[in-house]
Amino acid sequence: MAQSYEYILAIWLRIEATCAPEELEKDLREYLEAKYFVKKLEAVDESDDDKEDIIDEVAISLQLQLTFKESEMDSDDPTDEALEEVDNQLRAYLEAKYEVNYMEILDDALTSFLLDVLEDDK
């Protein structure tokens, strides 16, 4: 019997700001939820007091719940190939609507972890 793995994956984004951070956060959540299970999404204030109050990009802390096949896992973590595929698909999906200045999958962060192992009925 094959297994599938429910995994929480942390992602750090910087997106070109076209509106207020709160509005971008809401719009991004709605957009991502059409294709992904969003566990957490929040705009992060990275502003310095010394910098001008011109907002040109918004930093986003994101957690997605993804399902990986047994062949895409190396013990309790997704393989590099599986993570590269997620990176490519997510980046393409985001760039279809937003100008993504930076994106990093934080697969070694404490916020990325195996949630559950499921037995497939097939």
Q: Determine phi and psi for 52, rounding to 5 degrees.
A: -70, 160
Inter-residue contact 111 to 8 (CB < 8 Å) = yes
Inter-residue contact 96 to 105 (CB < 8 Å) = no
Is residue 41 one of the residues assigned to a domain?
Answer: yes
Strand pairing partners for 118?
Answer: 4
Closest CA to 44 of 19, 74, 73, 13: 13
Average pLDDT over residues 16-30: 92
Percent of the chain with pLDDT over 90: 74
Structural domain boundaries, residue 83? 3-117
Domain count, the chain: 1
Q: What is the CATH number of the domain that holds 17?
A: 3.30.70.60
Is residue 9 one of the residues assigned to a domain?
Answer: yes
Is residue 100 one of the residues assigned to a domain?
Answer: yes
Is residue 122 one of the residues assigned to a domain?
Answer: no
Kindly report the number of other CB atoms within 10 A of residue 103's CB atom: 17
Band of the pLDDT at 50, cuts 50, 70, 90? very low
Note the pLDDT tens digit of each residue in 72-106: 999 889 999 999 999 999 999 999 999 999 999 99
Percent of the chain with pLDDT over 70: 91
The predicted model scores a pTM of 0.86
pLDDT of 23 higher than 60 = yes
Residue 79: helix, strand or coil by DSSP? coil
Q: Distance between CA 99 and CA 7 in Å, rounded?
A: 27
pLDDT of 39 higher than 90 = yes
Note the pLDDT tens digit of each residue in 52-67: 555 689 999 999 999 9
Kindly report the number of other CB atoms within 10 A of residue 69's CB atom: 13
Q: Distance between CA 83 and CA 38 in Å, rounded?
A: 17
Note the pLDDT tens digit of each residue in 101-122: 999 999 887 889 999 999 877 5
pLDDT at residue 1 in the model: 73
Closest CA to 58 of 89, 28, 32: 28
